[in-house]
Amino acid sequence: MSAAKNDLILVLNCGSSSIKFALYDAAVQPLARAPWWGGKVEGITGAHPQWSENGHAPQPLALDTQAPYHAALEHIRACVRAFVAQHCAGRGIGVIAHRVVHGGSKYLAPVRMDAAVLADLRSYIPLAPLHQPFALEAIAVLLASRPELPQVAVFDTAFHHTLPEVEKMLPLPYSAWERGVRRYGFHGLSYEYMSLALAERHGAAARGRTIVAHLGSGASLCAMQDLRSVATTMGFSALDGLMMGTRCGALDPGALLYLMEIEKRTLEEVGHMLYHECGLLGLSGVSADPRELLPLEAGNARVQAALALYVRRIVREIGALCAVLGGLDMLVFTAGIGEHNDTLRARVCDGLGFLGVAIDAEANAHHAPCISSAASRVRVAVEPTNEEWVAAWHAARLLQGARAAQTL
């Protein structure tokens, strides 16, 4: 097969218990926002893993219990090979793009993967233990089995390189700053997509004082000026900022000292708690998913408290970012909860009435692109995110650049 025919892009988004994938056709320019084909393996480490692909209901998937993550990756590779052979005769994958959560202060742009870069990125695993190891495992497997196939890492932290130094610094001894202990910010692929999509849909209105609320199982806010990151709620790790599904968000470090010094919790116990036992799940005792919590709210005081704190933390952090921006022109909701949960959007907006935020109930119920009312002083939008497309877009640019270099 000639190199000119290797114009497909495979995107892998690897988490701790799931692998999402998407296949894009780089021969079609501009690159289509929707993938040609895609899907995911979910529940990899659980008792009932599932496989799903676009347009089909999830199906049970048997995985090797000794190495379930590796087995899930191999299943995806086999399915991609079969799909390409059946639907893309004479063509092949030219590059694989990986969402990698942490690039530290060194990787501010997508990078071609090799053994040296892989080793470097492994040093960031302690900063993103829920995601970094799994993306790097997939990269390592593919480097070993297909060393000739280009792989590109696209970083969630990179979008926030525009943060001013005052936003990056932590009030620790200066030697910590020199060692790289600083605020990095996350969900950068989502926010980068927002910077493109909001300009397309809202034009100049999006270039003012904009706050994007990425609300999913992980959650954060990003304050943008001229669609560039100037402040964000996640900091050194993906634990900071908003209360999330199972993560705590911003927390008094004295509480952690108490748990370890007085209650004698180990470092491992506290770490597991902060990532897996806090947030909506920890407070409600029922679920990390608002879709499951909202129907139970009326009869369960803990569920009521969990949802009330979840909304309060979002409102509080939006207020803080408004202070940084000097006001607010546009508020945007994205990601799973932000895009689909009209009840929580309404509660957040009710808490922002002092800013002049007012929404149209019917538009909100239908998840319209603009849900603010005519009386609102702030434009309120709902915009689906598309992290996989951003990764594919960067990979396509690298692929085109490599081909251009070969023809010089």
**DSSP states of 16-65 as a string?**
SS-EEEEEEETTSSSPPSS-SEEEEEE-TTSSS-EEEETTS--EE----T
CB atoms inside a 10 Å sphere around CB 366? 11
H helix or E strand, kind and range, residue 182: none
Task: State the catalytic residue, choosing from 156, 289, 342, 350.
Answer: 156
350 in active site: no
Tokens linked to 290:
């608002």
* 370 vs 38: CA distance, rounded Å: 28
Instruction: Give the Cα separation of 32 and 344 in Å (integer).
Output: 31
Q: Is 294 exposed, middle or buried (0-12, 13-18, 19+ CB in 10 A)?
A: middle
Instruction: Report the C-alpha gap between 107 and 153 in whole angstroms.
Output: 10
d(CA 274, CA 129): 12
Q: Amino acid letter at 171?
A: P
Residue 200 CB-density burial (10 A; 0-12 exposed, 13-18 middle, 19+ buried): exposed
- How far apart are the C-alpha atoms of 362 and 403, rounded to whole Å? 50
Catalytic residue list = 156
